[in-house]
A and B are shown apart, each in its own frame.
Chain A
Amino acid sequence: MIKIEINGQIVEAHEGDMLIDVADEAKIPIPRFCYHKKLSIAANCRMCLVEVEGAPKALPACATPVTDGMKVHTRSPKARAAQKAVMEFLLINHPLDCPICDQGGECELQDVAFEYGNDVGKYSEAKRVVPDHDVGPLIATDMTRCIHCTRCVRFGQEISGLMELGAVGRSEWMEITTYVGKSITSEISGNIIDLCPVGALTSKPFRFKARAWEMVAHPSIAAHDSLGSHIEVHTYQDKVMRVVPRDNEAINETWLSDRDRFAYEGINSQDRLTVPLAKSKGQWDEQEWEDALNQTVELLKPHLNNPDTVGVLVSPNATVEELYLLRKLLHAHGVKDIETRLRQIDFRLDEAAGKPVAPGLVNTLPEIEAMESVLLVGSNLRYEIPLLNLRVRKAQLEGARVRVLNVADYPFTFDLEDKVIADPQALVDTLKVLVRAAAELKGTEIPAGAEDAVVSEQHQAWAKDLVESGKATIMVGAMAQQSPLYADFVLWSARLADLTGATINVVPQSANEVGAYQVGAVPANGGNIDSMLASDKKAWIVVGIDPELDTVYGARLKQALDQADTVISLTAYDSEYLRSVSDIMLPIAVHTETAGTFVNATGDWQSFKIASAAPGDAKPLWKILRVLGNLLDMDGFDYVHADEVLEEAKAQTQSLGSVQGDLAIPARTCDKPVVLGEWSLYSVDPIVRRSEPLQKAAGAARPVVRSAIEADEIVLNTPAGPITLPNEYDESVAPGVVLVPMGLSETADVTLTDVSVAAS
């Protein structure tokens, strides 16, 4: 530690730390624009100039390393003069259109100008005007306001890994722009809205909706992937106006994915169900809650005598409280088939372990960032969990070697050391080879099943790197999880991890996927969605999902719902499909409208409070379940607070199997061509699907099949008959693989347990 003096105050610092960081730590204000703690130093705005004794010129605090005994003045006449000069220069060409600027009230330029600027400008020439470009549905540009700090440019270069913005032109004509005519497509592009210190880059959906000071900020947890990013929900008159990240180094740092940032537009969708509806004689009638709940109980009661004939499908984005109460209510009546794993088709792991085997990250995100070697198994990580992808990117930039086993050559935002792109069976076979290579390296016995594997130099290099890297991990992603060979992927990955000393992270996808396992929202009787659909359910309860879109069971599920006597829907959204199959539809609140808890990928229980009002008569699900419990004359449903439910849920977590290499599973093969489902960034859940800006964004799903088959169309067999989809010839897809976009009405019949390519 060294000592420096800032404005006469002695401050301790590490030699070489930048002056601005030392001053920040000591809470001594230094104005700045280009500096950002997560970006490289540009030192171009010159706002942070301070006086350092002995230096002839004022020095930029953001780029001046401290040395022992340094004496700094941030408010001396010399420092002030420099700061005022820079402020004046920044303002001469700035439009000063604060009254019509969305950044007003939270503008760094405004704040700093207030403190360091003059009250009258001396500049009387014409001001610069910069034409705007449409950069897509998420970000609005007013480039005349740009102060050229290049934070947005550096974000692309350094953080997102997509250089979509750059500076062109010199001098006053320097302009921040996208590559000729392109829009911004990054899955985390919205962060440049936060980074931009002025109103040059603002949120398009939020444009002109509310003023910063009119809104109420509610700390909350993001709900559209498994990380549980920390967010702030900003509401105006109890309606969500926008979502921004909250700093949290362990999870999202200062970032947020576009999905978690802009999904809220789906919360405000016109499709929200606002009153309970009941069907009588083919007619839907609006109901008072009391009547609706009584009818629900009436509908349910007869089936509770035959609990095995009741199936419950729940969104893995439901809260711990909601899932726990569902389980409590239904288990008490013997209903065990509560399922949240709507996209899994291979359950052999559970069968082998005798209990559900939950995915999860065994490493924290900072640990993942520090990995030296990463093997991604069946994962388009960028689109699955954008901010987890960022951590792997950081590791790669620091020198980690990232290798992938994938069914398609997905465009990563970092360099891959090596890759194998093949069909699932071939990928599993590759894992076996790697296991054999690792066993040979370690001089241990070659595990059964890998005896026939033929090791090449490539495989040796892969295995060697996992063995020799002090920090190595194998990450199993959504593509593997949703494939027919999930169990093989996990087992062989686990065996490889055991042999090499790497960790194994099976990446959970949904906000409360891990919580669902813990509180028992997966069948405890060895069942699963597949077996549920195979048994003859007479009653279904569907909660928080679009049943035709949110599973990979397509027509099979639709037929099951059609054939059931009773379908009770608890839903945030009204939809034609739900109306066509349900007997009753109860409007529920979404996550911002209830208090609740998500258990994230790393196993953290993160609770949040109500941020916005549910529309109309919609109610938090946990409250609905509480009343249903009472109506069913059950004990223990007299909660006053969601906290009480949480306490109980925590105390009653269920016992789970863990990912282990020594489980024995029955063999399964997977014939080619194999049809696999692909979830685009913005088709993953009902809220995201209804966010209009996201649906217009680059990550939205298109109803097009991708394959390396040369055909304009591909016909897929489904239980509801063949469907024809346009085919995009794509050499990046492994031979023998057909990728079908899921979560779209066009593919709603595709049933991944029962699908084949009929013709192409």
Chain B
Amino acid sequence: MASIPLNECCYRLNHLDKSWDIETYMANGGYEVWKKVLAGELTPQEIIDEVKASNIRGRGGAGFPTGLKWSFMNRYAPGPKYILCNSDEGEPGTFKDRDILRYNPHQLVEGMMIAGYVIGANTGYNYIRGEFWEPYKRFDQAVQQAYEAGLLGKNILGSGWDFDLYTHLGAGAYICGEETALIESIEGKKGQPRFKPPFPASFGLYGRPTTINNTETLASIPMILAKGGKWFADLGVPGAGGTKIFSVSGHVEKPGNYEIRMGTPFKDLLALAGGVWKGRKLKAVIPGGSSTAVLPAEKALEMNMDYDSIAKAGSFLGAGSVIIMDETTDMVKALDRLTWFYYEESCGQCTPCREGTGWMHRVVHRIYTGKGRPEDIDMLKDVSGKIMGRVICGLGDAAAIPVASFLEHFEHEFRHYIEHGCSIYDRA
């Protein structure tokens, strides 16, 4: 394995002492872009063009091109507009944004300032996962430092531009990571996705035009503008520019976050993480967070870590949360846990998801506890198929995909449970 370049963008300062301090950040080129922007040296249109050229796709899971998203906003439309940062980081397997908040919060602050400037928003909110108390304090401290340095507030550096940034702590619901549920939650309502259209760009927070981006997306912006869109694009592959943070967890020797270039072979990422633990063999990989389809080892080992390659393998890059399962993994038990998660976290609003997630979990759990029936496999396929594509937001599909993919690749393990009341690894 050739040496793999690491931490070129969002984590570039993480190795430094007190990397979260404004002094460290400014000593390393921090807020220079923001100052250029305020001085009029970079126009909103130039920024959008540069972001488009960087080929960055949203890091929150859907992979929507960020430059295009920003261009939906009319900067000059009268009235308030908002920039929101999604630091809810609820997807099982994902823990990359936490380390941005903890170790490089200023780069996110700068990214939000710039994004707000581009879309014409004078107010930003960073919505942080409820359990992230320490990251929340770090980020909020960074915001205070930026205010003290005169980089936030009214008439910033005499530019005539105002920007206020608020930190908002969530209360522990996965669904609040869905962008419109997040908006409802900031508004003080029950976190429930809105039906779209209208999209946030026309009817967002408090009914006003709003752009919402993931933490990693926004934290990448200052680097894209400092080094140029082309620099970023060239780090990656044609379908997706830049670096990407992969949170590797599960059965590896060195679980953790790895910021690597898009298109890096999965094998190399696995090696970075110390390989499968205990010298065991790889059985399966969930490449993009629990909502993406599980892949058997053969397929995973052939893919590279970018959208197109993972899609070709039959899954999705999602939020870049790589869950490694070794050869002893009981796939029925794994799915039992996953279905429980979605059953717990469905917002309850729309019928197929509210009723279907519980149904799927109960059947999987029945199989897992040795009470499965032969018809359960077809029933699971049927129920997951009936949820998909018939719900308001992505959670319903996210709940159905694991069920469908586990059965696609590991149906025999479920059959074994149904026939023998135990896993293929148990000596029955």
Contact = CB atoms under 8 A, between A and B. Distances in A.
A628 to B, nearest CB: 63
A47 interface: yes
Interface in B348-367: 348-352, 354-359, 362-363, 366
Interface in B317-356: 343-352, 354-356
A58 interface: yes
B362 A170 contact: no
A49 B390 contact: yes
B386 A88 contact: yes
A92 interface: yes
B1 to A, nearest CB: 40
B345 A171 contact: yes
A63 interface: yes
Contacts of B183: none
B348 A46 contact: no
B379 A170 contact: no
A148 B348 contact: yes
A159 to B, nearest CB: 18
Interface in A148-177: 148, 150, 166-174
A170 B348 CA distance: 5
Interface in A84-128: 85-86, 88-90, 92-93, 122-123, 125
B386 A171 contact: no
A147 interface: yes
A92 B354 CA distance: 11
A150 B363 CA distance: 28
A123 B356 CA distance: 11
A635 B229 CA distance: 101
Interface residues of A, number: 37
Interface residues on B, range: 20 to 34
Contacts of B173: 170
Given A49-B390, A58-B390, A169 B348 contact: yes
B195 interface: yes
Contact of B348 (A60, A88, A92, A173): A173
User: Of A44, A57, A92, which is in contact with the most chain B CB atoms at under 10 Å from its CB?
Assistant: A44
A171 B358 contact: yes
B389 A44 contact: no
B335 to A, nearest CB: 17
A168 B197 CA distance: 25
A656 B352 CA distance: 63
A44 B349 contact: yes
B190 to A, nearest CB: 6
B391 A46 contact: yes
Contacts, number: 96
A123 B359 contact: yes
Interface in A203-219: none
A46 B390 contact: yes
Contacts of A174: 347-349, 354
A190 to B, nearest CB: 25
Contacts of B345: 170-171
Given A44-B392, A46-B391, A57-B389, A171 B352 contact: no
A58 B354 contact: no
A148 B362 CA distance: 21
Interface string A712-737: 00000000000000000000000000
Interface in B364-386: 366, 379, 382, 386
B351 A86 contact: yes
Contacts of B223: none
B186 interface: no
Contacts of A93: 355, 358
A2 interface: no
A88 B173 CA distance: 27
A421 B195 CA distance: 43
Given A46-B390, A56-B389, A171 B346 contact: yes
A168 B350 CA distance: 14
B344 A82 contact: no
Q: Is the interface of B mostly helix, strand, loop or mixed?
A: helix
B347 A170 contact: yes
Nearest to A60: B195
Nearest to B343: A171
A45 interface: yes
Contacts of B363: 125
Contacts of B389: 56-58
A759 interface: no
A46 B350 contact: yes
Interface string A39-51: 0011111110100
A359 B344 CA distance: 59
Chief secondary structure at chain A's binding surface: loop
A85 B343 CA distance: 18
Nearest to A45: B351
Given A172-B348, A174-B348, A82 B359 contact: no
A519 B346 CA distance: 63
B270 interface: no
Contacts of B112: none
B346 A148 contact: no
Contacts of A44: 195, 349-351, 392
A91 B359 CA distance: 12
A82 B351 contact: no
Contacts of A43: 195, 350, 392
Nearest to B358: A172
Contacts of A169: 348
B352 A86 contact: yes
A90 B353 CA distance: 11
Contacts of B398: none
B221 interface: no
Contact of B390 (A63, A85, A147, A167): A85
Contact of B354 (A42, A60, A85, A148): A148
A625 to B, nearest CB: 59
Contact of A82 (B190, B197, B355, B390): B390
B390 A92 contact: no
B390 A171 contact: no
Contact of A148 (B190, B351, B379, B391): B351
Contacts of B175: 170
Contacts of B392: 43-44
Contacts of B343: 171-172
A86 B195 contact: no
Contacts of B351: 44-47, 86, 89-90, 147-148
A85 B352 contact: yes
A88 B379 CA distance: 13
A638 B414 CA distance: 88
A44 B356 CA distance: 14
Contacts of A148: 348-349, 351, 354
A362 B404 CA distance: 65
A174 to B, nearest CB: 3
Nearest to A126: B362
Nearest to B195: A43
A166 B348 CA distance: 13
Nearest to A86: B351
A47 to B, nearest CB: 7
A166 B354 CA distance: 17
A194 to B, nearest CB: 22
A481 B169 CA distance: 53
Most A CB within 10 A of own CB, among B349, B352, B386: B349
A171 B195 contact: no
A125 B372 CA distance: 12
A92 B362 contact: no
Given A47-B351, A82-B390, A169-B348, 9 more contacts: A43-B195, A44-B195, A44-B350, A56-B389, A88-B386, A89-B354, A170-B345, A170-B346, A171-B358
- By Cβ-Cβ distance, the 8 closest A-B pairs, closest first, are A174-B348, A85-B386, A89-B355, A43-B195, A57-B389, A171-B346, A125-B362, A172-B358
24 contacts: A43-B195, A44-B349, A46-B391, A49-B390, A56-B389, A60-B195, A65-B197, A82-B390, A85-B352, A85-B387, A93-B355, A93-B358, A125-B362, A125-B363, A148-B348, A148-B351, A167-B349, A170-B173, A171-B358, A172-B346, A172-B348, A172-B354, A174-B347, A174-B348
